[in-house]
Amino acid sequence: MNFKELLLKAINASIEGGDAIMKVYASDFAVEHKEDKSPLTLADKNCNEVIERHLKNTEIPFLSEEGVKIPFAERENWEYSWLVDPLDGTKEFVKRNGEFTVNIALIHNGTPVMGVIYVPVKEELYFALEGLGAYKISRNSVIDNLDQLIARAHKLPINYNRNNYVIVGSRSHMSVETEQFFDRKKKEHGNVEVMAVGSSLKLCMVAEGKADAYPRYAPTMEWDTGAGHAIVKMAGFSVTQYNTEKEVVYNKEDLLNPWFLVN
């Protein structure tokens, strides 16, 4: 299996998918609601189609938020699988605040080994591969040669010479346990800044070095975190289950994530 070739496919899929999202973003789009009452737009559907088209000839199974009805009896035999959220942060998309992403991960026996996150509004790309590291680059620098792309990208984490402790949280979800975590860190570090950001950008901020921790003590699904988890991990950080040192795992029978801490 040529992982560099797969990574380049995922990168191109995320960028073309992001372009499809931006066409809808610029229009007077309609919003539907899924069975769980969460919003769904034409952007989700169009981006998902683009990504499927790019990845279908890899012969690796494809699990997406837009196609979650694959039974576990079939999924449990997957050694490798793509895990995709074509539009992470649909609520942010609907609010038009720009804080949404395209997420593509490659999962190997429950562990993320590759991650791509594209931020369409900012045209920023995060990508990571096991054994290669994690990187960030502006879209206008993206080219078709992965080695040249890596040579021009910033390796993560980036040293921002911060003196304060930064916790990043969700704009849309705040639990009592999250507030307690904030209070603990304020006692430990004194100078603590709390930033609210949407979508998988929170994981990217820790991987990049802009934030020290992201406690997520509220529900998420596997496709929300797979790509970001890979980027965080390849940058040298961890995504662990609530109050344990156990890493979050994927392609479970129940696709709901446990509570976790990015640190």
Q: Which residue, of 130, 155, 180, is where some domain finishes?
A: 155
d(CA 219, CA 12): 30
Residue 140 forms part of a structural domain: yes
The larger pLDDT score, comparing residue 63 to residue 172, is at: 63
As a whole-number percent, the residues of the chain with pLDDT over 90 amount to 69
For residues 171 and 126, membership in a common domain is answered with no
For residues 115 and 184, membership in a common domain is answered with no
Give the total number of structural domains in the chain. 2
d(CA 248, CA 79): 17
Predicted confidence (pLDDT) at residue 62 exceeds the cutoff of 70: yes
Taking Cα atoms as reference points, which of 158, 146, 137 lies closest to residue 236? 158
Is residue 139 very low, low, confident or very high in pLDDT (cuts 50, 70, 90)? confident
Predicted confidence (pLDDT) at residue 158 exceeds the cutoff of 60: yes
DSSP the chain: --HHHHHHHHHHHHHHHHHHHHHHHTS---EEE-TTS-EEEHHHHHHHHHHHHHHGGGT--EEEGGGTT--HHHHTT-SEEEEEEEEE-HHHHHHT-S--EEEEEEEETTEEEEEEEEETTTTEEEEEETTTEEEEEEGGG--S-HHHHHHHSEESSP-----SEEEEEESS---HHHHHHHHHHHHHHSSEEEEEE-TTHHHHHHHHTS-SBEEE-S--BHHHHHHHHHHHHHTT--EEETTSSPBP--S-SS-BPPPEEE-
Amino acid 41: pLDDT: 72
Amino acid 36: pLDDT: 60
For residues 226 and 110, membership in a common domain is answered with no
Structural domain containing residue 209: 165-262
Is residue 196 very low, low, confident or very high in pLDDT (cuts 50, 70, 90)? confident
Is residue 104 very low, low, confident or very high in pLDDT (cuts 50, 70, 90)? very high
Is residue 237 very low, low, confident or very high in pLDDT (cuts 50, 70, 90)? very high
For residues 136 and 186, membership in a common domain is answered with no
Please state the rounded mean pLDDT for residues 48-64: 95
As a whole-number percent, the residues of the chain with pLDDT over 70 amount to 93
Amino acid 262: pLDDT: 98
For residues 132 and 214, membership in a common domain is answered with no
Amino acid 106: pLDDT: 98
Are 205 and 162 in contact by the 8 Å Cβ rule? The answer is no
For residues 53 and 113, membership in a common domain is answered with yes
Amino acid 8: pLDDT: 95
Q: What is the mean pLDDT of the chain?
A: 91
